[in-house]
Structure 1
Amino acid sequence: MSADQQTSIPDLPEALASANLGERSVSLNIDAELYPLQAVYGAAYIFIDRCYVFVDRPEAGKFRVTLAAKEGVEEVEALRSLVGEFANELISCAWRHQVTQDNRVAVETVTVQAIAGAMGEPSLDDLADFDFTDEALDDPLGIAQSWEEKHGRKEPKAEADAEAEGGASA
């Protein structure tokens, strides 16, 4: 077998992964629609302590990740194990990325509330400087009305009876 001869890895499709025993490396072809670039980077980062990692885009919609062992790996099975571990880490990173995207609004809301709470309550000086004369809200259509404005203020029954008696005796 020559130093640059590519070989297939048992139990994996050739289109997905191939090994180069002379270079002690394995290349994986990854579908960019299934795995975001952030997940590919995350998985590659996990492997940089034991492999040289090269990520490229051989064509649109595809990533190719090449893992070259730092230590002597002469067997196809060792490279197959490397592919399996990388694939598992890639799925894990893709899932974490999806969970992060799904919960982004909740995380941002909690973070803002935590920062606002850490600032503490306003001081008396802050309250003294606050302008309470501003309108609470802008209501150009006149929709926001209090109950009393809309239906009229009802007087307590005792005051209404006193006025009725006072008006009758006059």
Structure 2
Amino acid sequence: MKDDLLLQIFLRFAGISLLAVGGATAALPEAQRQIVGELHWLTGAEFAETFAIAQTSPGPNVIVFSLFGWRLAGLGGLLAATLGILGPSSLLAFAAARTMRRAGEAVWLARLKKALIPLAIGLMAANGYLLARGADSGFVATLITVAAAAFVALSPRSPLWAMLAAAILAVVASRSGFLAS
């Protein structure tokens, strides 16, 4: 039974890895659709919580997929998820790099690169929306999300300040009964 789950995790994440245009974070909307909506392996809140843990951990954004695997099936799940998310996309990136090197300054390559920019931004925006929808359990949580996003978008200061302020506000609101735990 567990071997079947490990294979499912590997195959799902291998497919998702091919959508990671712009990085692992850009593939999260599809991961959320499958893991939460289709397979019901995690709830929206569990998905958002795992994402938050990954984002506050040092290392690359792709660590979130390893954490999904860990949460689903322990160490075996972590390995299956990590191999699934890194394997196919790494092979594709290698093949793309060779093709781009051969193409040089070809017009079609310049157009393709330019077209991928809005795609990556759109995928990341969708990711933010889906994560907020899954994690924001009320008015105060939504307010924290909007304020943190505005701070990061409009301030020249480090996002760490938004993280610190949001954490303090969340603790105070939770202890005051304004934020569901």
Task: Indicate whether the TM-score tops 0.5.
Answer: no
Q: Calculate the TM-score normalised by the size of structure 1.
A: 0.27
Q: Which has the larger radius of gyration?
A: 1
Q: Calculate the TM-score normalised by the size of structure 2.
A: 0.26
